[in-house]
Amino acid sequence: MAFCTLARAQVTYTITTSADAFLATGSPTNPKGSNLTNANFGVAGVLYIAPAGSPNGEFQAVLKFDLSGTTNLFNAAYGSNWIISGISLELAGNFATTGAQPDNAIFNPINGGNFVIEWLANDNWVEVTGRPNAPTSDGVCYGSLPGLLSAAHESLCTNTYSPPGDNVHVTWPLPLNQDLVNDIAGGNEVSFRLYAADNQVSYLFNSHNFGNGNQPLIHVTAVPLLRMISGYFTNGVFHLIASAGANLPVQLQATSDLSTTNWQNLGPVTADGAGAIQFDDSTAANHNQRYYRLVY
């Protein structure tokens, strides 16, 4: 008996932000002012996260990616037969050493700590023209948050930032949250908000405006929707484990000779809510070798 699993390699789509900005509250000791809630810093070369209790006030970051190209890439590789299997953000900065003071005094010294990555349904915000040395009032700002958060939004994960050193890239895997996956699979714009989860974090990383190879990146990976994972004999029965889309009905087929097109239907199977398929072939022991496949 031979068991063969055939699967095409995964495909990954990578792109930098189409818009990004940091959002600041200001503070009495912030060199740009005690109230920056309506100030836009859209074309700043960096993005920044710091808690409300930091000397220069709270900082959050918003990032937007245009993922209209994902479906074209995945469809070219697999037709419509694919599923998103991985999503991650990759960030890096010129100032990423504990205690380092960024060039602009608006930012606190770099420090480790925890931060949250959140998915935003509202992509209706604009980066526009503000800079740290010349903020404007024509785009997204800290005061925009109530509007951004009035639509659906979901915390994806809390992460621990340990300054890795200057220009070292850090990848932050994201969970396959259904709303996020649907947003990406639809080829939409996708927005994230990053904010402090403790009173320690001071995380500075490059924006797309001054990437120098350190610009934010999103990586979206897809694999074939139907996959054979493993198989084994137990008590004379060949037990198959496969995966597909959640609750997807498919046909399991078998053949003893790959040189023919004569595949036998073993019966319809339906993946469970997690996409898992398990099937027992009680006739497998009657064949010297057998190959299996899943089809719609």
Q: What are phi and psi of 180, to 5 degrees?
A: -65, -45
Instruction: Give me the mean pLDDT over the 4-27 stretch.
Output: 83
Q: Report residue 9's pLDDT band, with 50, 70 and 90 as the boundaries.
A: low
In this structure, how many other beta carbons lie within 10 angstroms of the beta carbon of residue 28? 10
Provide the CATH number for the domain formed by 227-295 in this structure. 2.60.40
Of 51, 66, 52, 57, the residue nearest 20 (C-alpha): 66
pLDDT(5) > 70: no
Least confidently predicted of 26-40, 105-119, 180-194, 237-251: 237-251
Domain ranges for the chain, please list them: 11-224, 227-295
Count Cβ atoms within 10 A of the Cβ of residue 133 and give its class: 0-12 exposed, 13-18 middle, 19 or more buried.
Answer: exposed
When the pLDDT of each residue in the chain is averaged and rounded to a whole number, the result is 92
Where residue 142 falls (left for φ over 0; alpha for ψ -120 to 50; beta otherwise) is alpha
In this predicted structure, what is the pLDDT of residue 223? Answer: 81
**pLDDT confidence of residue 211:** 79
Q: How many residues does the chain have?
A: 296
How far is 27 from 48, CA to CA, in rounded Å? 15
pLDDT above 80 for 2 = no
Whether pTM > 0.95 for this model: the answer is no
Comparing CA positions, the residue from 138, 148, 127, 141 lying closest to residue 208 is 127
Contacts of 193 (CB under 8 A, 6+ apart): 60, 61, 62, 116, 117, 118, 120, 148, 153
Average pLDDT over residues 100-118: 98
Give the count of beta carbons closer than 10 Å to the beta carbon of residue 165: 11
pLDDT of residue 260 exceeding 60? yes
The residue type found at 246 is: A
**Amino acid making up residue 5:** T
pLDDT in tens, 203-214: 999 999 987 899
Q: What is the pLDDT of residues 172-206, one digit of tens each?
A: 999 999 999 999 999 999 999 999 999 999 999 99
Which band of pLDDT confidence, cut at 50, 70 and 90, is reported for residue 288? Answer: confident
What's the pLDDT band for 151 if we cut at 50, 70, 90?
very high
